[in-house]
Structure 1
Amino acid sequence: MRKPRRPARTVRQRFTALYGALFLLSAVGLLAVTYLVASGPSSTSRAAPMGEQPYQPSALAAAQEHIARLQAELAQAEAHQSRQLLLGSAVALAVMAVVSIVLGRFVAGRVLRPLRAITATTRRISADNLHERLAVNGPADEVKDLADTIDGLLERLEGSFAAQRRFVADASHELRTPLATMRASLDVAVGKPVPVPEQTVSLAGRLRTELDQVDRLLDGLLVLARAQHGAMVDREAVSLGAAVTAALEARAAGIEAKSLTVRTDLGDVWTRGSHTLLSRMVDNVIDNAVRHNGAGGWIRVAVTAAAGTALLVVETGGDVLDQEQVALLARPFQRLGQDRVHSGDGSGLGLAIVAAVAAAHGGDLDLSARPAGGLRVAVTLPAAGAPE
């Protein structure tokens, strides 16, 4: 049986305990010195006045009795004084214990305040706002060195992310030129007036199919790079219901070819963002549901709004899937095993683009395997009001 994990103590708690212990030890030392000084031995001497006559025996006995009585009273007073001093010391020690904890927590909070500010700012910075910096002001101490080190790391990360996105976009653009050249060469070779061998025509058809696949892949890379970059200047109100309707109408032929049953529940739900990217996101979700579906299957699409969020849910039937593999589908070029029915013409970027577009608009993508079989795709976006 595993032992329950004890909650970890924070740095502020450790500093509070340390400072409180130091303050308390100082108070204990001060009270101890005061008590020792106050309760130290005192000696009194009494000299007989000059010229006095020696006491007679009876007078001497009376004086000794009087001295003994005075000494007893003095001892009783000293004991009472010691008890009062001890009680006062205990009360002062209890008060100092509380004061030490309060002062220790206050001092620890002041010491850790710059670190809390650094932590909060670092948590707020993500891949979409790597341009932000901590910019901690203050003396050149260990805290400022830490903040400057983090700022340098963010600057290097920003440069790396920008270089990666720039490379994907540039490579995709540059590759379109040779693709267009190859497609034109095929059209010229097949379109010659002389009779073209049948094998050449068949080969040209297969090459056109592969070129179309590469073209879709490059287009997907461009959309993915743009979504991950997050630079959207064409923000506008977008109706998710209308986008779903357009996507279903565009794939009516594929739905009819597989005899799929489509059930929809499309509410009047709006979000705000790039119309191009959001339309591509909805197209990919619907396209994924049609492509990875068996003949005679079904698709259920729902668009709802609740608590300031817009929700697009697309469910499909099929075999029971592994949730661990399903969770990886949002990564580029990830597919399920061979048991899942698919046409094989996908680029492997469909759901990755969906996740990137949703994240760029402040939402997220949730993929889950249905217990009865099939896949559930849920996209959450911030809701917006309908345009006037």
Structure 2
Amino acid sequence: MPRCLAITGPHQVEILEYEDPPLQAHQVLLKTELASGKHGTTKALFDNLNFRGQHFDPAMRLFVEAEVESGPPPSRDNPLKTGTTGVGEVIGVGPDVTRWKVGDRVLGLMDVRETNICAEDRLWPLGEIDPYLALCIEPAYVAFHCIRESNVRFGESVAIIGLGAIGLLAVRMAALGGAEQIFALDPLPGRRAWAAQHGAHHTLNPREGDAALEIHRLTGGAGVDVVIELAGVYPALQTAIRCARLGGTICSAGFYQGEASSLWLGREWHHNRLTMLTPHGCGWGHVPRDYPRWDQQRAYDAIVSMMRQGRLTAPGLIQPIVALEEGPEVFRLIENEPDKVIKYAVRFSKDT
């Protein structure tokens, strides 16, 4: 039987066997070559803290107290997926599939498993795109909307807090879009080094000194036009508020856990007339702010196109690269030695 990497309990990741169901009319069966996940969100789901005793009502867009939670704790009988993106070869097609044939190599939204069943319209031809770059389409999708919806424009200044895969790709996109000054903040030196090589003008360790004060000093006292917060912890959100200039924008894209702490909303937030937004790509069931001009399909198509043109690149961002059997160990590293993981990849094919 094929195997997958799954969350089976709090802080517990295992390799499980599974069976593929029959293909539906517009579905494609893939033999997975590479797969990866968005491990920041995965870590947040380990404890299920935000959903304890709560149910998200999609009609009211409101969390309400309930005996049946929106996110029941994972178990071996009810595992959570670990993956978001992958590369694979088509080995079967549903009866009404017209876009793909057996033997095609594709990239798309996939789980970390030996086979994947995907809707035919959620895949793109791999072609000449580096397979490891292809694993970045999902974090690139979030970074894309962080940049677009916070309105980072040519000549503006931006600070990006939290340099996981999304944050590093946001640095790259801000540089491509012509930001005049880009500040990249993260406590891990390897991530700051990657940011410096791919567009950041200044890199700062927020645990050493007052990063917000240093950003104001480097911008002539003003602060930055836009701050994109991706660390997903409340002290980082407070730093974001302090980095912004009068009338600036905070793009809050981190997945915060538990009740807020370390926030002083009566200080810079109150006096500097800041705007805060959560971009599309975070949360459930909403469309981009400029829909219908931009929708999910157009955004993914644009990202894949820029990868294919060689304009959106991410050399060295995928690390470590492991076999499926090493997958549980990667999650131990994510929790205990995060400096060793930016965005992991599980390699199923030795030829990839």
TM-score after normalising by structure 1? 0.21
Larger Rg: 1
Question: Of Structure 1 and Structure 2, which has the larger fraction of its residues in strand?
Answer: 2
Q: TM-score, normalised by structure 2?
A: 0.22
**Larger RCO of the pair (alpha carbons < 8 Å, separation 6+):** 2
